[in-house]
Structure 1
Amino acid sequence: MSQLPPPVRTAQPRQEAPADNTVIAFRPASKKGRGARISIQGVAGSGKTWTSLSIAHGLAAGKKFAVVDTEHESASLYYGINGIEFDSCPMDRYDPRDLVKALDQAAAAGYGVIVIDSLTHFWKGTDGTLAQVEKAAGRFGGNSFAGWKDGTPLQNDMVDALLSYPGHVIATMRSQTEWVLQENARGRREPVMVGMKAEQRKGIEYEFDVVAEMNVENRLRFLKSRCPALHQKAIDKPDGARDIAEPVLAWLRSNPTQ
């Protein structure tokens, strides 16, 4: 009985991409013109609003900056302290599309720095992403998966607007303390605080250059930093302008020899 010949693998012709006007090119990497993206999360009373305003003041070099205020205009209580001046946009509904509009208006007005206090409301507040998902799900018999078809693009568009803002962006987020049961030296299990979880969509921290958390003792700890000077650093009662804005600006302005 004759043997069958071994299979021959025939190369398939490569499919060419549809013709368009897209130009793909590489260029030298540079931080020139890049704005910082900073987030500060914490529980109530941790000092995240004041710290974010102080950072913005430092980044703005004394010029006025913009604040999107979802906290019943609490940021305005700090106006004038240490020379801090800003224009405020109070909001009481938190459709992500409204934040996109606010960012567009701030960019058109030429604000070099904008603070969102807080980004949490655009996730779980009135008309926020979760509310938009629930509303959309109602049109499909309560199907939450169908609801996310509407909610996810709204959330993604909002994040894209934050990332594409032509200036520095600082966002505060409320957080919940997370506890786990661990065995102590006496062999008993006891609750131990292991960190704080930001009240926003999971993975939001990946979108920021610098991510920090603050506790009720006003201790700030960096969870992530692309700025080497702040990596894994912890600061008690931080001066946002001096301790954070200065090293961030120095990092963005540095241009190591290629």
Structure 2
Amino acid sequence: MNHFTFTTATKERAKARIALIGPTGSGKTYTALVTATGLGGRIALVDTEHGSAAKYADEFAFDTLPLTTFRPTTLVDVLAVAAHEGYDIMIVDSLSHFWSGTGGMLEQVDDAAKRVGAGGSFAGWKEARPQERAMIDALLAYPGHLIVTMRTKTEYVVEADERGRKVPRKVGLKPEQREGIEYEFDIVGDLDHENTLVISKSRAKPLSGVVFHKPGLEFAEAVSSWLEAGEPTPSVSDYVTAATAPDATPDELRALYEQARRHNLLGSAVLDNDGETHTLGELIVRHGTAARNRITQDDDVTSRGGTAQRKKDAAV
């Protein structure tokens, strides 16, 4: 028997999910920092570009974490730590390294294919794909605002300038990431070498197709206005507090899991009391299992106590 239930749709307050895509030199890092500053709050930045973001430390206040290896599982752990430390905005600069950098998805696929042997790259993708899915789920379920940058490969086209002379111009192509990954985000902006931002995909209707020349705070303000128009929702930390409550019952935890699922937060990376990374969904399930075990143990103790009392009564 099916147990599907439709409910009335409501617009809820959300966190930014922004992807900035462009070739080297188009201003992706700077635009990400301008936008994050406009959104407001503590900023954490994952730097995959050899510490280049720190060059803007005199203009923006943010904490940075340089990385040199880019396993998808590493980013999940980083997101869990950032969430635990309460960063309001997470910037990943750039997400492309977790695709084609050292330890990234392409390398994971190659390594898996070599281990499996038979099946080649198909078997490699089958083994490595869950890592990528866990990374994307953790990104999209981050409890604060999220901004990622992605590099595009650069090629040159020859165009006529204002005087009719043929001159080369750099253009960006598809992002260096999995095909179609940009559709995972609510707002996608393409940057060119003049630092012009064109919103190519947006769930925020007022931003669809808008062009920002050297984007500044006005872009962040437009994003904030769209995000704040909705009903308030529980945060990931609220879910963690409820899941880890010592008196939480199995029924309460089951309902909590379903609520987190409806808000697409089950994949959020969180830390347990031992500092280990889990998804929010795994954390709720683990505590639900523990709650059921406690009830079973209590029932056993009560049952044994009743049996002992009956034997005592019989002896009398």
Q: Normalised by the size of structure 2, how large is the TM-score?
A: 0.65
Q: Distance in 2 between matches of 1:23 and 1:65?
A: 40
Q: What does 1:224-235 correspond to in 2, within 5 Å?
A: 224-235=201-212
SS of 1:205 mapped into structure 2: helix
Q: Distance in 2 between matches of 1:162 and 1:77?
A: 25
Within the candidate set 67, 72, 97, 1:91 is matched to 67
Matched, 1:48 2:28: yes
Within the candidate set 54, 59, 69, 1:76 is matched to 54
Q: Distance in 1 between matches of 2:190 and 2:180?
A: 15
Q: Distance in 1 between matches of 2:82 and 2:25?
A: 28
Percent same amino acid among aligned pairs? Answer: 46
> Could you tell me which residue of structure 2 aligns to residue 222 of structure 1?
199
Answer with 1 or 2: which has the greater Rg. 2
SS of 2:177 mapped into structure 1: coil
Relative to 1, partners in 2 of residues 1:86 and 1:180: Cα closer, same or farther, differing over 3 Å?
closer
Q: Distance in 1 between matches of 2:229 and 2:97?
A: 35
Partner amino acid, structure 1, of 2:45: V
Cα drift, residue 112 of structure 1: 1.0
- Contact 2:212 / 2:219 at 8 angstroms: preserved in 1? no
SS of 2:116 mapped into structure 1: coil
Q: Distance in 1 between matches of 2:99 and 2:80?
A: 19
Higher helix share: 2
Q: Normalised by the size of structure 1, how large is the TM-score?
A: 0.79
What value does the CA root-mean-square deviation take over the aligned residues? 2.3
Q: Distance in 1 between matches of 2:220 and 2:16?
A: 9
> Could you tell me which residue of structure 1 aligns to residue 91 of structure 2?
115
Cα drift, residue 247 of structure 1: 0.5
Q: Deviations over 1:23-64 (max 9, x none)?
A: 8562541222x111000011111100000011011112xx32
> Could you tell me which residue of structure 2 aligns to residue 38 of structure 1?
18
Q: Deviations over 1:77-133 (max 9, x none)?
A: 10131xx21111110000000000000111111111100000000011000011000
Q: Distance in 2 between matches of 1:254 and 1:208?
A: 18
Relative to 1, partners in 2 of residues 1:89 and 1:27: Cα closer, same or farther, differing over 3 Å?
farther
Q: Distance in 1 between matches of 2:138 and 2:214?
A: 31
Partner amino acid, structure 2, of 1:238: P
Q: Distance in 2 between matches of 1:178 and 1:197?
A: 11
- Contact 1:222 / 1:233 at 8 angstroms: preserved in 2? yes
* Matched residues, number: 221
